[in-house]
């Protein structure tokens, strides 16, 4: 008995592959450009839109941040797999991370490093038992503003004049390979007080500059004074 093996020809398959081949030949420069752009944005640099006010007054709604995705790691494009670690996040860095618990990309400031013990009382931080220095900038409604000295890095924060449930937390030791992050708008931020400490492998980059900014409340008119604004 003879057995025969073969593949059934799919009607029109030659036409389909022919059309795809023609599309590739006619558009390969453009397609290669698109692929290169996606790879670049995935592994090297990208921009990130900020839709909320959790980082006010440093970052406001409508800012588009330039994200350096090589600040900490060289990664396999389109993944979180690190090929080479270049550095670790530093205290005060504004980091972008893909939070599994929040199920979205977030922008926050690094407060606690691995091994640190962090506590907060009435929006006043303690790091490893050291009380941070605060300089009151102004009191307003609904937020008051102060300058926080984050062990050498000065930046402004917002908070409610009256204490809330977000204003204080007991001492927390940051585990290895994790970071405690907070928003600069301390009473209006779903940060480590809500989602817990952030694993290092969720951090995808660092932001130091606003590229462009659009005013959501005024017909998306560009805020030219924030173009290329340093954070």
**Hey, which residues are catalytic here?**
54, 108
How crowded is residue 159: how many other Cβ atoms within 10 Å of its Cβ?
A: 24
Phi, psi for 221 (deg, rounded to 5): -70, 135
Q: How far is CA 214 from each of CA 151, 179, 208, rounded to the nearest angstrom?
A: 33, 30, 18
Cα separation, 22 vs 198, whole angstroms? 47
Residue among 171, 194, 13, 177 at smallest CA distance from 103? 194
| Burial class (CB within 10 angstroms; exposed 0-12, middle 13-18, buried 19+) of 155 | middle
How crowded is residue 89: how many other Cβ atoms within 10 Å of its Cβ?
A: 20
Phi, psi for 162 (deg, rounded to 5): -95, 140
Question: Is the CB of residue 131 less than 8 Å from the CB of residue 121?
Answer: no
Cα separation, 229 vs 231, whole angstroms? 6
**Residue entry with tokens 């050291």:** 130
Cα separation, 106 vs 100, whole angstroms? 10
């Amino acid at each position: 008995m003879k057995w025969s093996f073969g593949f059934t020809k799919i009607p029109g398959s030659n036409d389909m592959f022919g059309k795809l081949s023609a599309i590739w030949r006619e558009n390969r420069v453009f397609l290669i450009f698109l692929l290169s752009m996606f790879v670049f944005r995935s592994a090297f640099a990208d921009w990130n839109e900020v839709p909320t006010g959790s980082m006010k007054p440093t970052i406001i709604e409508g800012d588009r941040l330039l994200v350096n995705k090589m600040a900490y790691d060289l990664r396999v494009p389109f993944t979180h797999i690190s090929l080479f670690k270049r550095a670790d996040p530093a205290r005060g860095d504004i980091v972008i991370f893909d939070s599994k618990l929040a199920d979205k990309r977030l922008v926050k400031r690094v407060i606690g490093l691995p091994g640190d013990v962090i506590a907060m009382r009435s929006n006043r931080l303690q790091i490893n038992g050291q009380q941070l220095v605060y300089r009151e900038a102004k009191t307003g409604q609904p937020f008051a503003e102060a300058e926080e000295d984050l062990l050498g890095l000065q930046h402004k924060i917002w908070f409610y004049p009256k204490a809330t449930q977000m204003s204080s937390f007991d001492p927390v030791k940051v585990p290895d390979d994790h970071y405690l992050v907070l928003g600069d708008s301390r009473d209006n931020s779903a940060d480590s007080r809500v989602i817990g400490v952030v694993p290092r492998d969720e951090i995808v980059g660092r932001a130091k500059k606003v590229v462009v900014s659009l005013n959501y409340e005024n017909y998306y008119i560009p805020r030219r004074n924030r173009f290329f604004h340093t954070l």
